[in-house]
């Protein structure tokens, strides 16, 4: 009897989430199916085919721990599907937490979460896609389980949030944004007192502050036992020298730049930028209508203040890290903007404003379509870049092996850089999104590319030897690759002068 009751409850719970979950899976496959069914690579993916990249030294000790769940094989089909399932589940948790009831808005928001450009960026680095999706899901679950006054769920939320931060620190911004949205929803409903809502927010802030403190303490403990320390990427990008007001300004600037300059490719096309501007106008207008209809001035003022606070929650990583270290993957929290729109539209009164709700639904649907197109364009470009690089390294390897004196004792030194050897595919500018095509020539992982993709074991000279050769007058006199004389044997080293 107990088993039947549990099964009945499970079916009832899934029935509530069926629409957003199914929509998320369908939209996700439309956007990312190409990445799941092909092995797409970039400079980091080539290096980490059988690894997770920098883990403990980046403060991501959770990445090391999740190897038990996600072994060190960058498998696009398996990890792609697992990631999509986790993100779809996270979207359902976010919808439940915010109390969005309409099946239509649920499905639309779930589609926006799984097609958002930040997730496309995650799938460009498939070796960490599943762990990051797991961290995103843990963050959503931590927020969902948080209940005011329930210390057991609060403690569990804290543990889950710490684990999420141990995998990817940037998802603290997702938690902050969701907490702010929940407060906005409560303020718009007006059923709870203003000070009660504010107290909830302060408790949520305390939760996040304690989670960050515990995460940092665990990180230091891990360092103590492993002898590791933060790598230069972390230490050079901590925003310690910038004043707090300036950091806050950076967060708001970044939010504005998404709309004005399509920053981070979160708004991938120019037409999408105009759609987002229209959505912002419709959302703010709807917010005014909802607040005006409630006739609760204090609740309305709180809702407006929290709406103005939302960009800071979305960009709160600027309070910690430098502007240069913030990129598309870090800004996944921007997807919560669409939830604000849905919260407002669900609360609009019936009547003349119905047209605004319909226009908003149409605009959000257009954003999903734009995101699906963008994801597939990015993946196609990744494949074309790889095929260009494969052809380049095939020819380069042939020329190296045809060099007079080539034998098993030779080492290879690639000297200089070359930015023009691979086609850039200017039809889609994604240089700040997934690095320039030339990086596949100048990459630190090219020895792995030769070994794992071309099957060639060509030992590279060490950095000291390469630096010495770079200043050698004989190398300086050599023409740049691919011209005759750009590959020569010098002192037992086959030197390729790239530029």
Looking at the fold, whether 197 and 308 belong to one and the same domain comes out as yes
* Cα separation, 4 vs 29, whole angstroms: 34
* Cα separation, 267 vs 328, whole angstroms: 11
**Cβ-contact 118, 335 below 8 angstroms:** yes
Return the pLDDT at 148.
59
Return the pLDDT at 198.
96
> Is it the case that residue 461 has pLDDT exceeding 60?
yes
pLDDT digits (tens, 9 = 90+) for 323-368: 888 989 999 999 999 999 999 999 998 776 778 899 999 999 999 9
Looking at the fold, whether 460 and 375 belong to one and the same domain comes out as no
Give the model's confidence band at 445: pLDDT under 50 very low, under 70 low, under 90 confident, else very high.
confident
Tokens 């260009």 found at: 388
* Cα separation, 396 vs 241, whole angstroms: 45
Looking at the fold, whether 145 and 87 belong to one and the same domain comes out as yes
User: Quick one: the chain helix, strand, coil %, rounded to 5?
Assistant: 70, 5, 25
Spell out the SS3 assignment of 150-165.
CHHHHHHHHHHHHHHH
How many whole angstroms from its chain centre is CA 279?
23
**Cis amide linkage into residue 482, ω under 30° from 0:** yes
Looking at the fold, whether 348 and 408 belong to one and the same domain comes out as no
Percent of the chain surpassing pLDDT 90:
67
Looking at the fold, whether 480 and 349 belong to one and the same domain comes out as no
Residue 461 lies in a domain: yes
Residue 182 lies in a domain: yes
Strands 411-415 and 493-497: parallel
DSSP string, 74-86: --HHHHHHHHHHH
What residues have CB less than 8 Å from 348, skipping those under 6 apart? 286, 289, 290, 354, 356, 357
Percent of the chain surpassing pLDDT 70:
95
For the full predicted model, state whether its pTM sits above 0.75: yes
Looking at the fold, whether 409 and 375 belong to one and the same domain comes out as no
Looking at the fold, whether 70 and 105 belong to one and the same domain comes out as yes
* Cα separation, 124 vs 111, whole angstroms: 19
pLDDT digits (tens, 9 = 90+) for 187-232: 999 999 999 999 999 999 999 999 999 999 999 999 999 999 999 8
Residue 20 lies in a domain: yes
Residue 333's nearest CA partner among 161, 182, 154, 117 is 117
Number of continuous H segments (helices) and E segments (strands) in the chain = 21, 3
Most confident of 142-151, 289-298, 437-446: 289-298
The C-alpha angle with vertex 169 and arms to 166 and 175, in degrees rounded to 5, equals 105
Return the pLDDT at 389.
87
Looking at the fold, whether 194 and 156 belong to one and the same domain comes out as yes
* Cα separation, 364 vs 15, whole angstroms: 24
Give the model's confidence band at 262: pLDDT under 50 very low, under 70 low, under 90 confident, else very high.
confident
Residue 467 lies in a domain: yes
* Cα separation, 421 vs 435, whole angstroms: 15
pLDDT digits (tens, 9 = 90+) for 366-391: 999 999 999 999 999 999 988 988 99
pLDDT digits (tens, 9 = 90+) for 400-434: 999 998 888 889 998 888 777 877 787 777 766 66
Return the pLDDT at 433.
65
Residue 395 lies in a domain: no
Residue 388 lies in a domain: no
Give the model's confidence band at 441: pLDDT under 50 very low, under 70 low, under 90 confident, else very high.
confident
Mean pLDDT of 25-51: 93
Residue 124 lies in a domain: yes
Looking at the fold, whether 365 and 436 belong to one and the same domain comes out as no
Residue 80's nearest CA partner among 142, 23, 31, 21 is 31
Looking at the fold, whether 466 and 335 belong to one and the same domain comes out as no
Supply the range of the domain harboring residue 410. 403-497
Give the model's confidence band at 29: pLDDT under 50 very low, under 70 low, under 90 confident, else very high.
very high
Query: How many Cβ atoms sit within 10 Å of the Cβ of residue 20?
Result: 27
Mean pLDDT of 19-46: 95
pLDDT digits (tens, 9 = 90+) for 296-329: 889 999 999 999 999 999 999 999 998 888 989 9
pLDDT digits (tens, 9 = 90+) for 46-96: 888 999 988 999 999 999 999 989 999 999 999 999 999 999 999 999 999
Mean pLDDT of 464-474: 91
Tokens 């501007």 found at: 277
The number of domains in the chain is: 2
Which SS3 state, helix, strand or coil, does residue 414 take?
Answer: strand
Task: Report residue 271 as tokens.
Answer: 């037409």
What residues have CB less than 8 Å from 61, skipping those under 6 apart? 55, 166, 218, 219, 222
Residue 132 lies in a domain: yes
Give the model's confidence band at 454: pLDDT under 50 very low, under 70 low, under 90 confident, else very high.
confident
């Amino acid at each position: 009897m107990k088993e039947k009751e549990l099964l009945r409850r499970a079916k009832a719970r899934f029935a509530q989430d069926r629409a957003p979950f199914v929509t998320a899976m369908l939209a996700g496959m439309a956007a990312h199916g190409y990445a799941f069914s092909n092995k797409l690579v970039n400079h980091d993916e080539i290096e980490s085919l059988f690894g997770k990249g920098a883990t403990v030294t980046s403060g991501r000790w959770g990445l090391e721990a999740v190897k038990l769940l996600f072994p060190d094989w960058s498998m696009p089909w398996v990890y792609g599907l697992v990631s999509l399932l986790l993100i779809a589940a996270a979207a359902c948790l976010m919808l439940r937490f915010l109390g969005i009831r309409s099946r239509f808005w649920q499905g639309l928001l779930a589609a926006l979460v799984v097609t958002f450009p930040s997730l496309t960026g995650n799938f460009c680095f498939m070796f960490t896609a599943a762990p990051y999706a797991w961290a995103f899901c843990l963050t959503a679950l931590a927020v969902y389980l948080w209940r005011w006054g329930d210390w057991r769920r609060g403690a569990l939320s804290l543990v889950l949030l710490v684990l999420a931060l141990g995998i990817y620190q940037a998802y603290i911004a997702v938690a902050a944004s969701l907490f702010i949205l929940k407060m906005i929803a409560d303020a718009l409903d007006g059923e709870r007192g203003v000070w009660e809502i504010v107290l909830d927010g302060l408790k949520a802030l305390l939760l996040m502050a304690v989670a960050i403190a515990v995460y940092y303490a665990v990180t230091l403990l891990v360092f103590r036992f492993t002898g590791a320390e933060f790598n230069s990427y972390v230490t050079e990008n901590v925003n310690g020298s910038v004043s707090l007001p300036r950091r806050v300004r950076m967060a708001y600037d970044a939010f504005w730049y998404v709309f004005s300059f399509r920053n981070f490719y979160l708004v991938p096309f120019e037409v999408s930028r105009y759609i987002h501007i229209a959505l912002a106008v419709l959302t703010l207008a709807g917010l005014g209508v909802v607040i005006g209809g409630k006739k609760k001035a204090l609740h309305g003022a709180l809702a407006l203040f929290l709406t103005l606070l939302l960009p800071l929650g979305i960009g709160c990583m600027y309070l910690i890290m430098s502007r240069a270290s913030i990129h598309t993957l870090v800004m996944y929290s921007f997807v919560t903007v669409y939830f604000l729109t849905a919260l407002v539209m669900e609360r609009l009164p019936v009547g003349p404003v119905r047209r605004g709700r319909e226009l908003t639904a149409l605009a959000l649907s257009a954003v999903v379509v734009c995101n699906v197109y963008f994801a597939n364009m990015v993946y196609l470009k990744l494949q074309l870049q790889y095929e260009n690089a494969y052809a380049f390294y095939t020819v380069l390897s042939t020329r190296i092996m045809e060099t007079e004196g080539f034998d098993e004792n030779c080492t290879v030194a690639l000297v200089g850089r070359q930015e023009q050897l691979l086609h850039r595919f200017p039809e889609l500018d994604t240089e700040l999104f997934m690095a320039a095509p030339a990086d596949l020539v100048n990459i630190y992982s090219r020895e792995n590319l030769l070994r794992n993709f071309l099957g060639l074991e060509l030992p590279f000279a060490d950095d000291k030897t390469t630096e010495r050769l770079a200043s050698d007058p004989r190398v300086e006199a050599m023409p740049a690759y691919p011209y005759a004389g750009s590959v020569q044997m010098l002192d037992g080293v086959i030197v390729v002068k790239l530029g």
